Structure formats: structure tokens, C-alpha cells
């Protein structure tokens, strides 16, 4: 099975990530929670509730293209976490549009 995550930012080349590692859903959610806090990501909803899809988008936006481009290990962990948390093997994260497709 192909596992792939593409991440798109405005005015930057699309990043195509193919993680070699796999994570369980719990580990993936913990990694995303940790990154959300470390990067100072902001909740997308006024209620303060953070759904997993919102967290994936917020982490990508807070990280920015630069972190993905300079840290391949971090980008691979992000991709592995995204696919495991969503339970989908192929995901497109459009950070510039705040949209996920799978």
C-alpha cells in the first residue's frame, strides 16, 4: 500500500512525503499534540476545540514550508502522524487553503 502525504503552501513547491515509519493512532495523536504546543499553533475554531483535522492543518501552518524543507526527519514524522491519525494512506494538506483531502 502506498503511504503519501503532500503538503502545499502558497508560492512554494508542493512537498511530497513518503514516510518509511508507521505509527499507531495514539502515538500519532501524541506527536501532533506535542508539535501543536511546541510550535505555538493556534486553534482554528473560536470555541477553542481542536479537532484532529484542525490540528494537522495548524501544525503545518505553524511549521511553515521552511521547517518541512530543512528537516526531513521532522517532515517524515509529520507525514506518518497524519496518515495514522486519520487512518488514511494518502492525504493532501493544503496549508495555504486550510483544507485536507484524502
Instruction: Please write the tens of the pLDDT for every residue from 69-88.
Output: 999 999 999 999 999 999 99
Share of the chain above pLDDT 90, in %: 84
> Residue 101 — pLDDT band, cuts 50, 70, 90?
very high
Break the chain into its structural domains and give their ranges: 4-101
**Residue 74 has what pLDDT?**
98
Tell whether the model's pLDDT for residue 6 goes beyond 80. Answer: yes
Give pLDDT tens digits for 14-38. Answer: 999 999 989 999 999 999 999 999 9
> Which 3-state string (H, E, C) describes the chain?
CCCEEEEECCCCCCEEECCCCCCCHHHHHHHHHHHHHHCCCCCCCCCCCCCHHHHHHHHHHHHHHHHHHHCHHHHHHHHHHHHHHHCCCEEEEECCCCEEEC
Amino acid at each position: 500500500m502506498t503511504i503519501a502525504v503532500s503538503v502545499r503552501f502558497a508560492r512554494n513547491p508542493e512537498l511530497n512525503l513518503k514516510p518509511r515509519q508507521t505509527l499507531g493512532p495514539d502515538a500519532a495523536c501524541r506527536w501532533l499534540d506535542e508539535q501543536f504546543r511546541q510550535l505555538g499553533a493556534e486553534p482554528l475554531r473560536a470555541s477553542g476545540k481542536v479537532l484532529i483535522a484542525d490540528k494537522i492543518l495548524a501544525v503545518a501552518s505553524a511549521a511553515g514550508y521552511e521547517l518541512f524543507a530543512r528537516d526531513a526527519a521532522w517532515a517524515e514524522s509529520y507525514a506518518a502522524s497524519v496518515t495514522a491519525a486519520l487512518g488514511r494512506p494518502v492525504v493532501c494538506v493544503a496549508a495555504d487553503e486550510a483544507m485536507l483531502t484524502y
